[in-house]
Chain A
Amino acid sequence: MDLGTQETILRLVNQHGAERLLVLLGAPDAESAEISAETVILGDPTFAGPLAETQLGLDVYHILEEEVRQSIPEAVWEDQVGLMADVLEAEEIGTAVRGMRDRRGVPS
């Protein structure tokens, strides 16, 4: 994840509080989705950015996950995401992000 993005996320956590933030990912595959989710939950796995060793424990979903889709008006979801939903491996991506969510609050 970009270092500037990590810095912004840290600022938003300080501004709004971690419990009031929701991160929505648009990653193209399970691997990148998992790394992004890990960064905002357990900290930057590359130890390069401001979130290194910073366990924010943020709520994070991928835009293709069913729980998210159900919350968005069908026409908007189809218009904005529908095409990519046919191309990307939604189930695999969802499993990766869900697995990382399950690690929130678990000592690493």
Chain B
Amino acid sequence: MSPVFDGKFVIALGERDGVAGPAIATCAKAAGSEVVFSATECFV
């Protein structure tokens, strides 16, 4: 596992106009991490 993920629990904070939470979560899981929270916010 890479130094960035390094067995950590991932919090996926996506944004509507950027990359959404579920997409980030899918990437984190594919990297071998456990996702403990995922959200897609609308930055104002």
Q: Which partner residue on chain B sits nearest A16 by CB separation?
A: B9
- The interface residues of chain A, by DSSP majority, are classed as mixed
Q: Are A8 and B37 in contact (CB under 8 A)?
A: yes
Q: Are B8 and A22 in contact (CB under 8 A)?
A: yes
Alpha-carbon gap, A27 to B10, bound state (A): 16
- The interface residues of chain B, by DSSP majority, are classed as mixed
Alpha-carbon gap, A84 to B6, bound state (A): 25
* Residue A12 is within 8 A (CB to CB) of chain B in the complex: yes
Q: For residue A73, which residues in chain B have a CB less than 8 angstroms away from its CB?
A: 30-31
Number of A-B contacts (CB under 8 A): 115
Alpha-carbon gap, A59 to B9, bound state (A): 11
Q: Are B8 and A20 in contact (CB under 8 A)?
A: yes
Distance in Å from the Cβ of A84 to the closest Cβ of chain B? 5
Interface, chain B (partner A; CB < 8 A):
1-15, 17-21, 23-24, 26-28, 30-31, 33, 36-37, 39-41, 43
30 residue pairs from A and B, CB less than 8 Å apart:
A1-B41, A5-B41, A8-B37, A12-B36, A21-B9, A22-B5, A22-B8, A22-B9, A22-B10, A25-B13, A26-B13, A26-B18, A26-B24, A26-B40, A27-B15, A36-B13, A63-B27, A67-B2, A67-B3, A68-B4, A70-B2, A71-B4, A72-B27, A72-B30, A76-B30, A80-B23, A80-B26, A81-B19, A81-B24, A84-B18
